Amino acid sequence: MSLEVVLIAALVLSLLGALYYFIDREIYFYEGMRLGPRLQRWLYDRWAADYDRGKQASQAQDDLMLGEPILEKLSGFSAPLVLDLAAGTGRLSLALFRQPGFDGDIMALDISPKMLALASQKLSVYGERLDLIQYLTLPLPFPDESFDVACCLEALEVMPGMEEPLSELYRVLRPGGLLVTSRGTEASGRKDKIRSAENFTILLNASGFEQVEISPWWKYFDRVFARKPGLFAPAEKHTLTDLLRCKTCDAIDWDENPHGLACRNCKTRFALGADGILIFELNKSE
């Protein structure tokens, strides 16, 4: 075998090794967070069918670790309005709706339509109390101080940075409102995205939150509760058309029809897709 053939073979092997490393690291390990939201959406669509199967052990604790303690934190307040950012297949919504004492409404956002389609199937019986929104990028399309509870579970580590989503969650949360999130543990191996419990508390404090509580949840994540400072007064508006800001003109002025929403101000239309999911990113002007 000539030296030229050996060098070509070595080069090919090196390129294949680099490609494998890229796929393993950037796509599977970091879930495409550094490759842009559209590719990340595509990846989650591909993984959606098997997503719950891989999390059965942790989801078996959802009533105990999510539904019940969140309801306890809201004791004395009726009909809370909940935001679930990066809702996935709807585990947080399901955990809350399964609680007999939960009488609130939920607005759930995710970048993946196939994840949301699975959430819609699980939660169809709660349709009047749940809005599912396909939404790609921050900032969030809601006014300041809209929600009583703001949730973002198992997702901060697969976003480009933690500061912006935490800032947005703080902004849309009402004074005294409850933040529900998670801290990726050292066992996850995402070294450049992992913060110790102490440093994660510092991050939340720097974002404005107080009363931080970090509890063991499952192998790869701790459960985190925190509060926005202030006196808690439940949200008065629960209807999506009273809260959703038009992506084009920022107005909150909607005509609602069976096919979706149309902004009265700029005439931009947003389609209601399969399973009642509002597609709030692919818009078309009249």
Token reading at 262: 């149309």
Per-residue pLDDT of 216-261, as tens digits, reads 998 889 999 999 999 988 888 899 999 999 999 999 999 999 999 9
Residues of the chain with CATH 3.40.50.150: 62-227
Q: State both tokens at 230.
A: 């202030």
Q: Would you state the pLDDT for residue 160?
A: 84
Non-local (6+) Cβ contacts of 130 within 8 A are 93, 97, 105, 106, 107, 108, 123
How many CB atoms are closer than 10 A to CB 160? 13
**E strand or H helix that includes residue 151:** strand 147-152
Task: Give the start-end residues of each E strand in 153-274.
Answer: 173-184, 210-218, 221-227, 254-257, 260-263, 268-272
Q: Which of 144, 136, 151 has its CA nearest to residue 87?
A: 151
pLDDT at 43: 84
pLDDT at residue 42 in the model: 83
Q: How do residues 74-103 score in pLDDT, each as one tens digit?
A: 988 889 999 999 999 999 999 999 999 999
Residue stretches of the chain with pLDDT short of 50: 19-21, 23-24, 282-286
What are the structure tokens assigned to 194, written together?
Answer: 């992992």
Selected from 3.40.50.150, 3.40.1500.10, 3.40.1670.10, 3.40.50.10800, the CATH number assigned to the domain covering 62-227 reads: 3.40.50.150
